[in-house]
Homo-oligomer: A and B are copies of this chain.
């Protein structure tokens, strides 16, 4: 009886071979996976210890055959079968774009990203990493932005437990490099022709730990926060490309992987737009499963209209631009950084919980998505935004409440109104001056009032339908029914409070 693998889990085939030369460079190891007449060719990888592996995520139930291809005799022509069986539990497959502004798992289950950022939680050692996972278990987040490479920055002065390449750090790093690392050549610690399989196995474990919690891993492939510590932001020619191939060969079969090509790509001044375009294409052609792909800005946006970008990953403070971005790019917009709840002295890390939550509601109400991060200072400099650990802010509970509200919206989720005229057809008094509104056809309307406090609000609801209207207190996390079984012009009376929202739900 052949091995069984759940649909969207991954099958792994390992083969041992002693090879000459550099097995990362000199050995080609691939496999074809075949279901009936359909053939999918995937790249394998060297995992150290004379072991070569190839992974495959089947998307169709039934019997799959495989056969290996290699330039090494003992690795070529190996074959077998496995049975792809139905998914169980929370396995809904990888996340795809739908609608065009939203996401769903491949089985059609809606997925609304409610993300957080712990850039390098995965480089902090077992104790803290376990604490992060424990925190995430009770947190409202279903997406994690995290870096492959370690990070050097304020509050990030520690070394990771291991490194992606063979070699060792042989130079003391000091703070002055934060200002002048560009005046020095990158450190030469590494044999860039030899990956460190242990590093990547750890990364895979972290991604699977997240998967077990229902959390998508929004994996940041490159980032600028190196400052001469390791030089992973300035690797020699050809290394970035080889790294992309190795990464995709190892990780593509993990269903909860998203490719985030960079955090703040525009701060990586050694790479130009052609490089980013090329990296997108390399990953696209090496990832048989077409995982989500995005690239995150510091200032100017990458051109998200490019066809290889599946959704917009945005850094921006002004959520009122959400409808503009959605219409401009016609793709989902995820503002992964609007600023973080915290109390550090940096502007990006001192948002009050009220302010961050307002960003969330402004973005979600307009049909987009907004992400969380937390930067409360502590003695250990263990800030959630970088290292994970525990959460102490006031926003996560309220984001959990928001997530409940969002997940109750008819699939696939809210759209911005096509025009101000359309919006005023339903909400005659408009939704400007810092408010936001969205709708799902005629089934659902959401108006977020932010710090507006009207005593009354009017809706012009489609006359053929019956609706009920709820008052949502986004801060105090309450929902109160204001009207039942209404239609046409409806006026509702509101209390004088900040951070309220109104939702209008079509009765079945």
Q: Which residues of A contact B (CB under 8 A)?
A: 317-318, 320, 339, 343-352, 354-355, 358, 377, 429-435, 449-458, 491, 496, 498
Minimum CB–CB distance for A115 against chain B, Å? 18
Task: Decide yes or no: A352 and B431 within 8 Å by CB, A345-B458, A457-B345 being known contacts.
Answer: no
Chain B residues with CB under 8 A of A339:
433-434
Residues of B within 8 A of A350 (CB): 433, 449, 452-454
Copies in the complex: 2
A156 to chain B, nearest CB (A): 16
| A343-B496, A429-B346 known; A355+B454 contact, CB < 8 A | no
In the complex the two chains form, is A452's CB within 8 Å of B351's CB? Answer: yes
Q: Name the CB-closest residue of B to A340.
A: B433
Look across to chain B and name the residue whose beta carbon is closest to the beta carbon of A337: B433
Which residues of B are found within 8 Å of A452, using beta-carbon distances? Answer: 347, 350-352, 355
| Minimum distance in angstroms from A234 CB to a CB of chain B | 25
The CA-CA distance from A377 to B457 in the complex, in Å, is 13
CB of B455 within 8 A of CB of A343, answer yes
Which of A318, A430, A453 has most chain B Cβ within 10 Å? A453
Beyond A346-B430, A355-B450, A355-B498, 17 extra complex contacts between A and B, CB < 8 Å? A344-B455, A345-B454, A345-B456, A346-B429, A347-B430, A347-B431, A347-B452, A350-B433, A351-B433, A351-B434, A351-B452, A352-B452, A354-B451, A355-B434, A355-B451, A355-B452, A377-B455
Q: Contact: A352 with B498, CB < 8 Å?
A: yes
- In the bound complex, how far is the Cα of B451 from the Cα of A348, in angstroms? 12
A10 to chain B, nearest CB (A): 40
* Residue contact A344 to B454, C-beta cutoff 8 Å: yes
Residue in A346, A433, A458 whose Cβ sees the most chain B Cβ within 10 Å: A433
List of B residues within 8 angstroms of A454 by Cβ: 343-346, 349-350
Q: Distance in Å from the Cβ of A342 to the closest Cβ of chain B?
A: 8
- Cβ distance A413 to chain B, nearest Cβ, rounded Å: 24
Residues on the B chain within 8 Å of A449, using CB: 350
Chain B nearest CB, measured from A338 CB (Å): 8
Chain B: minimal CB distance from A302 (Å): 20
A320→B347 CA distance, assembly (Å): 14
Within the complex, what minimum Cβ distance (angstroms) separates A174 from chain B? 19
How far apart are A346's CB and chain B's nearest CB, in angstroms?
Answer: 5
- Give the 10 A-B CB pairs with smallest separation, nearest first: A355-B451, A343-B455, A350-B454, A350-B452, A347-B433, A352-B451, A339-B433, A345-B456, A345-B454, A352-B453
Q: With a CB–CB cut-off of 8 A, which chain B residues contact A355?
A: 434, 450-452, 498
Given A355-B451, A355-B452, A451-B354, A433 contacting B345 (CB threshold 8 A)? no
Residues of chain B contacted by A457 (CB below 8 angstroms):
345
Q: Which residues of B contact A352 (CB under 8 A)?
A: 451-453, 496, 498
Assembly CA distance A152 to B386 (angstroms): 57
A358 cross-chain contacts in B, Cβ below 8 A: 451
In the bound assembly, the distance between CA atoms of A238 and B338 in angstroms comes to: 53
A–B complex contacts, Cβ < 8 Å, 25 sampled: A317-B432, A317-B433, A317-B434, A318-B318, A339-B434, A343-B455, A343-B496, A344-B454, A345-B429, A345-B455, A345-B456, A345-B457, A346-B429, A347-B433, A347-B452, A348-B432, A350-B452, A350-B454, A351-B434, A351-B452, A351-B453, A352-B453, A352-B496, A355-B434, A358-B451
C-alpha spacing A456/B375, complex, angstroms: 13
Q: Are the C-beta atoms of A435 and B345 separated by less than 8 Å? A: no
Expressed in whole angstroms, the minimum distance between the Cβ of A454 and any Cβ of chain B is 4
**Cα–Cα, bound, A349→B498 (Å):** 14
A317, B319: Cα distance in complex, Å: 13
Q: Kindly list chain B residues whose C-beta atoms are within 8 Å of the C-beta of A320.
A: 318
> Which of A345, A354, A430 has most B Cβ within 10 Å?
A345
Report how far A347 CA is from B430 CA in the complex, Å. 6
Taking the nearest CB of chain B, how far is it from the CB of A419, in angstroms?
Answer: 14
Residue from B317, B348, B429 in contact with A347 in the complex, judged by beta carbons closer than 8 Å = B429
**A354 adjacent to B455 (CB under 8 Å):** no
Q: In whole angstroms, what is the CA distance A455 to B365 when docked?
A: 31
- Given A354-B451, A498-B354, are A348 and B317 neighbors across the interface (CB < 8 Å)? no
